[in-house]
Amino acid sequence: QAGNPESAALLERVEAKKLPGDFEAALPVFEAGKDVSTRAASGKVLNAIGPVMPELWGGSADLAESNNTTIEGSPSFIPTSRSTAAWKGNPYGRVLHFGIREHAAASIVNGISLHGRTRAFSGTFLIFSDYQRPAIRLGALMGVPSLYVWTHDSIGLGEDGPTHQPVEQLASLRAIPGLDVVRPGDANEVAAAWKAMLENHENPAGIVLTRQNIPTYARGTGVADGDTFGSTAGVEKGGYVLAEASKDGSTAEAQVILIGTGSEVQLAVNAREALQAEGIPTRVVSMPCVEWFNKQDAAYRDAVLPSVVKARVSVEAGLALGWKEFVGDAGRSISLEHFGASADYKRLFQEFGITAEAVAAAAKESLAGLTN
């Protein structure tokens, strides 16, 4: 300790399971108004925290460039003799190359997590989480804090077609006890999500990310009318008020609540604008992690989703399975109950009715059902 004070301090911090003191300062803040894919945002977060968190390492199942999982400038965990022009290796490398072995990647990360001290992640497309499922389940059963990076999270991946487009994966992963499924709604939610996942050492988590660019929202310290959206401090609670209901320029009691995740949060935000233009005060709730939200006390959950507001709509580009818990009998769900198709993502969302217009129409239908 006397001869190696920095290393001793690092060991003490890691064994205490604490993030570095300069962690939050290292997190990137993304410019409001600029469209960014959440996979790109995740890559920027990993590269920003990598220098201050040397215990973090990982890689991808042969999809590093798509998953944005490489901590740039870092050596690979391969023998020096196997180095290439692109990848320099040594026994202390932090870039893991799993190969096209998704199940093995998840199992390896479980083993690293069980060993302790370091934090490890593996990356692949969300659709290929199916190959990882036995290892993911065991990680959850053992209560190890493995980290999974899943990109290309919906029909939004587009032209790769239905074989690569997740439909049932979000619902099936949420069904695994002890697994946190985190689907951020914009770039700054990504940063907050990584922080929350790294603070947790009790169970595994998977972060679910878009291929396509989505809006980055102007954040305030709370929720205000107009163009200011709720602080990302609510991300760690799993669900929070992103945009409050208003009428005639002032905050109003919500008549309807729209709940979105990931790339579909923007549809809820746009539907809110249309509904409020018609005099219907509308609240938007971003729910990046159902598991985190369900861990909150009843008072917080009711503050976000007041039981008195029965008109609700969930919107997610996947099965509606599981959303009944939040929208109730009077609510509606905009979802995808069939496989996708090969086309540009904008065409697919339009053809399959996952649009702001559909969300607004469902909200009106939910409201009308209350009076009939």
Q: What is the H or E stretch that residue 4 is in?
A: none
**How high is the pLDDT of residue 225?**
47
**How high is the pLDDT of residue 29?**
96
- For the chain, residues with pLDDT lower than 50 are 225
Q: How many helices (H) and strands (E) does the chain have?
A: 14, 13
Q: Which residues are catalytic?
A: 102
Domain holding 358, by residue range, is: 232-371
Q: What is the CATH number of the domain that holds 280?
A: 3.40.50.920
**Domains of the chain: total:** 2
Burial of residue 299 (CB within 10 Å: 0-12, 13-18, 19+) is exposed
Evaluate whether residue 216 is within a structural domain: no
Q: CA-to-CA distance for 345 and 153, rounded, in angstroms?
A: 12
- Based on the domain organization, do 253 and 162 belong to the same domain? no
Q: What is the CATH number of the domain that holds 10?
A: 3.40.50.970
Beta bridge partners of 345: none
- Based on the domain organization, do 284 and 151 belong to the same domain? no
Q: Which residues of 357-369 are buried (b: 16+ CB within 10 A; e: fewer)?
A: ebbbbbbbebbee
**How high is the pLDDT of residue 372?**
66
Contact 92, 75 (CB under 8 A): yes
Contacts for 140 with CB less than 8 Å, ≥ 6 apart: 176, 177, 178, 179, 203, 204
DSSP state of 243: E
Q: CA-to-CA distance for 195 and 276, rounded, in angstroms?
A: 34
